[in-house]
Structure 1
Amino acid sequence: MDTKLLKQNEKYVIGVSGGPDSMFLLDNIYHSSELDINNFIVCLVNYQKREDSNHDEQIVVEYCQKRNIKLHVKKVTVQEYQQYQVLSHNFQRIARDLRYDLFCQISEKYHCQGVLIAHNLTDHIETYILQKQRNGIVEHYGLNQNSYYYSQMLGTKLNVFRIMLKITREEIIEYLLHQQVNYAIDSTNILAIYNRNIIRNEIQQINLQDMLLEIDQKNKENEQLKLIAKNYLIDNFGQISVPNFNVINNFKLQKIIIFNYFKNNNVVHLISHKKRRFLDEIIKELKSPKPNLILNINADYALIKSYDNVDIINNDLLKPTTIQISSKTNLPVKWQENTINWGTKNKHFFKITATQWPITITNDLLLLNKIIVNKMPLNRWFIKNKVSLLARKSYFVLDKNNHLIYANNLVSLKINEFINNTCLEKHNLFFFMIK
């Protein structure tokens, strides 16, 4: 095992199911001369979906109790399954999220460096074959020795270590029999009911060395594309520029750029579980001649293409929002993510007179389209001046006569000369800040 990946005096979680792989991992760590078993916390999830799941749990409990190893067991309830069905209805995905979320919680509680997962060489090959079948974008072909898991439910990230990727299933079974370590067999693995299990039953016919060479070559090619994608985003200041993106003639490179764009914005989890055609749809929309498009990612986020620019935003920012402020309003008040407060003559964003009360702060296009700018409706002015969707959806301030008296900083320079913000009442001015 590649124990060099681990720090000797740090704590780690070990994911153990009672199966041969995880029992091999646990027993090797227990007998390791380089590692202290007292720095490890064993975690087991009993999904209570199989008749023999309690038997699997008992194997792990007896092993840990006999050797005084710290153990945390979680029995999944019906309510927890229902809670995770909000994210997915796929049982394998739900089971994985429940398992890794437990690892996150225990790792945080005991200040661990991450979790050890008992993936072996066979799992490494199986993963690569599935990746080829799906033909999607991956960070790494096969399994990576060190990767990260991001919890959508908890909003936390977990370091994942795989120190058994050079060990075959046959070596594991031989070791367990020789060491007389008890282990459980998952009865569902015998039934070819999942894609991975179908591959598992066929993998014996594959030349492993040839497959490992193929994986290595794929990862080298992938790293080259990832470097090109990284440099693209650096050259474009972390953004996707629609014109130069569309001249790229490598479809896979375009997908990797999009994936890394999401990753750089700390929202890669929004697309990590999407089907591969979702990236195809994004590329299709970016090539569309329409200047302004909104592509919903999920209920909370959207990808916006506006002329030459691309943005990922929270959908709340797109919702029409309007508030009215009078001279009797108790400030400060909130407008979306902004705070409206009184200002001073020396520090202010805009000023009004007593005759302009009440003022309205809005991004509602139905209200804004009544405004005339340079002898044309505001919506036509937006189009003529190629104002981005985000700028259109940001705040505008109107007086009681629906005159535009202030605009957000995304359009203020362009529109400032058309703002009806005269200051005839020199001694009766009110100063506001929006921040």
Structure 2
Amino acid sequence: MDDKLLNRNEKYIIGVSGGPDSMFLLDNIYHNPELDINNFIVCLINYQKREDSDYDEQIVIEYCKKRNIKIYVKRVTPADYDQYQTISHNFQNIARDIRYVFFFQISKKHHCQGVLIAHNLTDHIETYILQKQRNGIVEHYGLNQISYYHSHLLGSELKIIRIMLQITREEIIEYLFHNQVNYAIDSTNILGIYNRNIIRNEIQQINLQDMLLEINQKNSENEQLKLMAKKYLIDNFGQINVASFNIINNMQLQKIIIFNYFKMNNLVQLISNKKRKFLNEIIKELKSEKPNIIIKVNNDYSLVKSYDNVEIINNNALQPITVKITMITKFPIKWKEKIISQGTNKSYAFKIGVDQFPLTITNDVLFLQKVILAKTPLNRWFIKNKIPILARKSYFILDAQNKLVYVNNLIDLKINKFINNTWPEKHNLFFFMIK
């Protein structure tokens, strides 16, 4: 095992299920003269989904009790499953989230540096085969020795350490047999009910050394593409430029650029679990001749293409909202993120006359198409003047005659000459501030 990944003076969690892999990991750490077992805390999850899961738990408890190893056990309840089903309905995803959040909680309590997971060489190969089948974007082909679990619920990340990636499952079973270490067998592993289990039953026919060479080659190519993607985003000041993006003839590189763009915006979780077709769809839309396209990512965010620019936008910013201001409206009032309050003749964003009430603050096309600029409806004027979609979705303030009295700063320079708030100063003028 690669125990050089561990700091001898730090504490760690060991994820133990009672199966052969995790019992091998636990026993090797316990017998390693260079490691202090008191720096390790065993964590076990009993999902209570199998009739024999209590037997697995008992094996680990007895092992730790006999050797005076600190252990924490979480028995998953229906309430736990209900909590995580708000995020996913996939049992494997739910189980992983429950497991790692538990690890994180215990790690935080004891100031641990991470969690040791008993993934081995066979798991490494299985993961790579699944990645090839999915044909998506991955940070690393196979399993990485060091990775991080990001908890959406806790808003934190946990370091995951794998020190067994050079050891085969056959070597593990042989070690346990010769050292008389008790372990449990997960009965579902012999059933082809999950993709990984199907691969697990077929992997015995694969030449592991040839597969390792292939994985190393893929990771080498992947690192080169990641460097090229990083350079692209640096050259474009962290943005995706549609014109320069579309001249790239390597679709895998385009996917990695998109992936890293989301990652730079701390939103990689939005696409990390998407089907591979999703990235293909984004690339297709960026190549489209349509100048303004909204690609929905989830209920909260969309990817917006607006002429040559691409941005990740909160969907709230794209929703049509209309607010009315009358002469008796109480201020301040709010339009999305903007606050509108009364100003003075020395401090104001815009002014109107009394006969211009009521005012309409809106980004709704049903209102904007009533506005005429240069004999053209405003929504058609947008197209003619190549106004970006985000400028169209921001606020416009109309008077009672549907004439513009104020517009958002994204479009102000192009539209200012059409603004109808140049009344001569009289006592019946109203002044407004927008912040």
Superposition TM-score, scaled by structure 2 size: 0.92
Q: What code does the residue aligned with 2:360 have?
A: T
1:243 matched to which residue of 2?
Answer: 243
Q: Does 2:186 correspond to 1:186?
A: yes
User: Judging changes above 3 Å, is the alpha-carbon distance between structure 1 residues 433 and 158 closer, same or farther for their aligned structure 2 residues?
Assistant: farther
Q: Cα deviation per residue 1:294-325 (whole Å; 9 max; x = unaligned)?
A: 22112222121121111211211111112233
1:218 matched to which residue of 2?
Answer: 218
Q: CA deviation at 1:358?
A: 4.0
Q: CA deviation at 1:37?
A: 3.4
Q: 2: CA distance between counterparts of 1:61 and 1:419?
A: 76
Q: 2: CA distance between counterparts of 1:29 and 1:325?
A: 71
Alignment of 1:264-279 (within 5 A): 264-279=264-279
Q: CA deviation at 1:383?
A: 0.5
User: Judging changes above 3 Å, is the alpha-carbon distance between structure 1 residues 39 and 403 closer, same or farther for their aligned structure 2 residues?
Assistant: farther
User: Judging changes above 3 Å, is the alpha-carbon distance between structure 1 residues 100 and 351 closer, same or farther for their aligned structure 2 residues?
Assistant: farther
Q: CA deviation at 1:40?
A: 3.3
Q: 2: CA distance between counterparts of 1:205 and 1:61?
A: 36
Q: Cα deviation per residue 1:76-130 (whole Å; 9 max; x = unaligned)?
A: 2223323333333322222222222322333344443332211111111111112
Q: What code does the residue aligned with 1:257 have?
A: I
Q: 2: CA distance between counterparts of 1:145 and 1:121?
A: 11
1:114 matched to which residue of 2?
Answer: 114
1:176 matched to which residue of 2?
Answer: 176
User: Judging changes above 3 Å, is the alpha-carbon distance between structure 1 residues 334 and 23 closer, same or farther for their aligned structure 2 residues?
Assistant: farther
User: Judging changes above 3 Å, is the alpha-carbon distance between structure 1 residues 226 and 343 closer, same or farther for their aligned structure 2 residues?
Assistant: farther
Q: 2: CA distance between counterparts of 1:88 and 1:347?
A: 51
1:146 matched to which residue of 2?
Answer: 146
2:412 matched to which residue of 1?
Answer: 412
Alignment of 1:32-431 (within 5 A): 32-326=32-326, 328-343=328-343, 348-425=348-425, 430-431=430-431
Q: CA deviation at 1:147?
A: 1.4
Q: CA deviation at 1:364?
A: 1.3
Q: CA deviation at 1:291?
A: 1.6
User: Judging changes above 3 Å, is the alpha-carbon distance between structure 1 residues 370 and 179 closer, same or farther for their aligned structure 2 residues?
Assistant: same
SS at match of 1:8: coil
SS at match of 1:30: helix
Q: Report how many aligned residue pairs link the two structures.
A: 435
Q: Cα deviation per residue 1:132-167 (whole Å; 9 max; x = unaligned)?
A: 222222111110111122233444332222121112
User: Judging changes above 3 Å, is the alpha-carbon distance between structure 1 residues 375 and 256 closer, same or farther for their aligned structure 2 residues?
Assistant: same
Unaligned runs of 5+ in 1: none
SS at match of 2:45: strand
Q: 2: CA distance between counterparts of 1:99 and 1:331?
A: 50
Q: 2: CA distance between counterparts of 1:106 and 1:204?
A: 37
Q: Cα deviation per residue 1:36-64 (whole Å; 9 max; x = unaligned)?
A: 43343322221111111111112222223
Superposition TM-score, scaled by structure 1 size: 0.92
SS at match of 1:298: coil
Q: CA deviation at 1:292?
A: 1.6
Q: 1: CA distance between counterparts of 2:173 and 2:385?
A: 69
Q: Cα deviation per residue 1:174-204 (whole Å; 9 max; x = unaligned)?
A: 3333333322111111222222112212222
Q: What code does the residue aligned with 2:340 have?
A: I
Q: CA deviation at 1:413?
A: 1.7
Over aligned residue pairs, what C-alpha RMSD do you find?
2.3
User: Judging changes above 3 Å, is the alpha-carbon distance between structure 1 residues 202 and 328 closer, same or farther for their aligned structure 2 residues?
Assistant: same
SS at match of 1:304: strand
1:434 matched to which residue of 2?
Answer: 434
SS at match of 1:157: strand
Q: Cα deviation per residue 1:4-41 (whole Å; 9 max; x = unaligned)?
A: 32333333332221111112222333334444433433
Q: What code does the residue aligned with 2:94 have?
A: I
Q: 1: CA distance between counterparts of 2:120 and 2:97?
A: 20
Q: What code does the residue aligned with 1:133 have?
A: Q
Q: What percent of counterpart residues are identical?
A: 74
Range with bigger deviation, 154-163 or 388-397: 154-163
Range with bigger deviation, 129-138 or 335-344: 335-344
Unaligned runs of 5+ in 2: none
